[in-house]
Structure 1
Amino acid sequence: MNELTILVIEDDKTIQNFLKISLQTKGYKYILADNGLSGISYFYADNPDLILLDLGLPDIDGMEVLRQVRQKSEVPIIIVSARGQEREKVSALDEGADDFVMKPFNAEELLARIRVALRHKGTVKKQMSEFELDSLKIDFEKRKIFVHGQEIHLTPIEYKMMTLLVNNSGKVLTHHYIQNQVWGYDTTDDYQSLRVFMANIRRKIEDDTANPRFILTEVGVGYRFADE
Structure 2
Amino acid sequence: MSAVLCIDDEPAILRLLEIVLGRDGHSIIAAKDARSALAALDAQRIDAVVLDLGLPDRDGIELLAALRTRSPAPVIVLSARTDVSEKVAALDLGASDYVTKPFEGDELLARLRAALRSAGRATPSGESLTHGPLHMNLARHELKVGDRPVTLTPKEFAVLRQLITAGGRVLTHSAILEAVWGKAHRSDVEYLRVVIRALRLKVEENPASPSLIRNEPGIGYRLG
> Superposition pairs for residues 1-228 of structure 1, below 5 Å?
2=1, 4-123=2-121, 126-127=124-125, 129=128, 131=130, 133=132, 136-140=133-137, 143-146=141-144, 150-226=148-224
1:150 positional shift: 4.5
Matched position secondary structure for 2:120 = helix
Residues in 1 aligned to 2:144 and 2:121: alpha-carbon distance in whole angstroms: 23
CA contact (8 A) 1:94 1:174 kept: yes
Distance 1:54 1:131, change over 3 A: same
- Per-residue displacement from partner, 1:155-183 (whole Å, max 9, x unpaired)? 12101211221232321001121123223
Question: 8 Å contact 1:78–1:97 — kept in the other structure?
Answer: yes
Q: How big is the shift at 1:193?
A: 0.8
Q: For structure 1, which segment, 120-129 or 214-223, has the greater mean C-alpha deviation from structure 2 after superposition?
A: 120-129
Alpha-carbon shift at residue 112 of structure 1 (Å)? 2.4
Q: Percent identity?
A: 38
Which stretches in structure 2 are left out of the alignment for 5+ residues?
none
Q: Deviations over 1:73-113 (max 9, x none)?
A: 33221101111111111001112212111222222322222
TM (normalized to structure 1)?
0.84
Counterparts of 2:168 and 2:209 in 1: how far apart (Å)? 17
CA distance in 1, matches of 2:96, 2:110: 13
Question: Are the equivalent residues in 2 in contact too, given 1:176–1:186 (CA < 8 A)?
Answer: no
Q: Distance in 2 between matches of 1:53 and 1:72?
A: 15
Does the 8 Å contact 2:122/2:129 carry over to 1? no
Q: How many residues align?
A: 222
What is the root-mean-square deviation of aligned Cα atoms in Å?
2.5
Greater Cα offset, 84-93 or 63-72: 63-72
